[in-house]
Structure 1
Amino acid sequence: MLLMWVHPLIQSVAMILAVYVLYLGIQRFRFQHLKVRCPFNWKRHVLLGKVVHGLWAFGACLGLYMAYYAWGSIDLTGGHFTVGVLMLPVIVAALISGLILEKPKGKRANLALFHGSCNVLLFLMACYQSYTAIEVINLFLLH
């Protein structure tokens, strides 16, 4: 049963890193669109953004696997399951747009806004996941 805690642990690490990556992204948005001078660590944003996307995707797949392995079904957790699955295509969109933005080929303000919007949506979805995880843990892991 200890193995069942790997999914929440991975997603907790991803969430902590996501707060920092989002902060860096906000700094970039402020500079690029609001013309506010502020520091932006581009390399750290790119590296940790990839880590967060990878952890979220891996954690989601691991959560699905662990639910099926432990309970014989993947959709017992209601909204937690649904939002987790819906995060996967948004992760792909955010990651691909980020990889394109990583290549220095001119200004792509619209793509940057799309990338940022996907990531803000992902962050909000992850906040919901964190909230619903408390109920999932209480119902399925602590009893």
Structure 2
Amino acid sequence: MIQEAKLYLYIHPVIQLLGTIFGYFALLWGLKRFLIAHGKMKLVFPWKQHVLYGKIATSLWLVGLAFGVYFTREEWQYCRITGAHYTLGVIAFLFVLGTFLTGYWMELFKKKRVYLSVTHGLLGVLLCILVFLQIVTGVQVLSLFLW
């Protein structure tokens, strides 16, 4: 049963879940771009939506991460108490930054690119894999400490 006094601890997972929804839409549009670029599809790339959803996702993930660290420290005085969830979160943070910065650079200086686009796409795919693993470890944290 959920402890009423601990409801504030659910702010972090809710923000992260919203970020994940936006992030996976951005990933799907990025995959569409990849398929268009390699001649597998003859569609229009929804560039503005991809950029907007990517910005929203990375912003939510960063805000959610800050809340997660803050609430964990407030509740248990030690962030690493969540084990693999903490470790994956640190790694995911680096991928959030890398994905955002490469995407922001491409938005700022629009031109045809190969290597930066591929790097951005790989970072985004790996980030979404890490986010999935974060969901798994996050549910474990919730079940261990709150349920």
The TM tier, using the shorter chain, reads over 0.9
Is 1:107 aligned to 2:109, yes or no? no
Matches within 5 A, 1:87-126: 87-126=92-131
How far 1:33 moved relative to its partner? Answer: 2.8
Question: Within the alignment, does 1:50 sit opposite 2:55 as a pair?
Answer: yes
What pairs up with 1:36-47 in 2 under 5 angstroms?
A: 36-47=41-52
Q: Please, which runs of 5 or more residues in structure 2 have no aligned partner? A: 1-5
Decide which of 76, 82, 86 is 1:81's aligned counterpart.
86
RMSD: 1.2
Q: Give the aligned residue type for 1:2.
A: L
How high is the TM-score relative to the length of structure 1?
Answer: 0.94
1:61 matched residue in structure 2: 66
Map residues 14-33 of structure 1 onto 2, 5 A cutoff.
14-33=19-38
For the pair 1:131 / 2:136, whether they are aligned, the reply is yes
Identity across the alignment (%): 35
Where structure 1 has 5 or more consecutive residues not aligned to the other structure, the ranges are: none
TM-score (norm 2): 0.91
Residue 3 of structure 2 aligns with which residue?
A: none
Of 34-43 and 87-96, the range deviating more from structure 2: 34-43
Equivalent position SS for 2:79: coil
Larger RCO of the pair (alpha carbons < 8 Å, separation 6+)? 2
Distance 1:35 1:109, change over 3 A: farther
Per the alignment, in what secondary structure is the counterpart of residue 38 of structure 2?
helix
1:10 and 2:15 correspond: yes
What is the alpha-carbon distance in structure 2 between the residues aligned to residue 89 and residue 26 of structure 1?
A: 21
Aligned length: 142
